Amino acid sequence: MMKSSVVILSWNSTIVLAPCLASLPQGFSTGAYEVIVVDNGSRGLTPAALLHAFPWVQLVVNRKNRGVAPARNQAIRLTQGEYIILLDDDTLVGPDAFTQLLAYMDTHPDIGLCGPKLVDLQGQLQLSCRFFPTLTDKLARCFPFAFARRLTRAVEMADWDHKCAREVDYVIGACQVIRRTALAEVGLLDERIFYGPEDIDLCLRMRQAGWRVVYNPAAVVVHRERRVARSFLSRLGWKHLWGVLYYFCKHGYLFSCRRLYAHLQLDPPRMRNEQSTSE
């Protein structure tokens, strides 16, 4: 079996996709890999124009935007790798980033999903590993009050130094390395989520099935974070809001994770932050 399959979703983003593809080879020092790009209904110039520069890419073109989860699943079904790497098109892969993550997962067979350290173009840390959200902390992001900022910082693990590998609730979908056997057990991304917390939902289902979700800062990926739904007044904004509400209804919690953590046999976030969590 091929070692890894990289899945990249593109939507009106050919300009950022080209540097992303150019950075991929330096992320792998060993092992065969394949790259599948899904153009999800782009207008105008599509990634097809990049095939001359990157002939090793397998391109799938959708006539319309099918949403993040359906389009990624479309590519996942074509993959052959032992590991599936979901990667945003606005990323730049650091040297040996995937080699390190794959080796780490090979030596930790109980890890179903692992994420790297994400930084911006200036090298500043992005808070990519987090505790499961509630509607309370989602709403807190909308207010400038001190208590709201404290709540957001706690959920985003902002006061943790991010210097060692540790088990987390979830890592954001900008870069996720997924073990195929784990994905086969828990199922693909939930296609009822058009754009939103499909990454959180997958990690939660991994945890429910007994797989570990881990953040590993030894691997570094630059993330330029090209947001596509900044306002709830936009069509994508409403779809994102619906996805968030669907996620909470699906997993049966809203304002508190207490019952969720009890079911998963996890300590509350505050207690886990106080414990030694290095791998």
Which of 2, 6, 3, 1 shows the shortest CA–CA distance to 221? 6
Q: What is the pLDDT of residues 81-127, one digit of tens each?
A: 999 999 999 999 999 999 999 999 999 999 999 999 999 999 999 99
Q: Is 216 exposed, middle or buried (0-12, 13-18, 19+ CB in 10 A)?
A: buried
Instruction: State pTM to two decimals.
Output: 0.93
| Alpha-carbon span 218 to 52, nearest angstrom | 33
| Alpha-carbon span 47 to 91, nearest angstrom | 16
pLDDT higher than threshold 50 for residue 255: yes
| Alpha-carbon span 222 to 251, nearest angstrom | 32
Q: What is the pLDDT of residues 206-249, one digit of tens each?
A: 999 999 999 999 999 999 876 555 555 577 788 888 999 999 99
* Alpha-helix runs per DSSP H in 62-197: 68-76, 97-106, 135-140, 146-155, 180-186
Q: What is the pLDDT of residues 59-83, one digit of tens each?
A: 999 988 899 999 999 999 999 999 9
For residues 13 and 250, which has the higher predicted lDDT (pLDDT)?
250
> What is the CATH number assigned to the segment(s) 4-274?
3.90.550.10
Domain ranges of the chain: 4-274
Q: Is 19 exposed, middle or buried (0-12, 13-18, 19+ CB in 10 A)?
A: middle
Average pLDDT, integer, range 16-28: 95
Q: How confident is the model at residue 152 (pLDDT cuts 50, 70, 90)?
A: confident
R_g of the chain computed on alpha carbons: 18
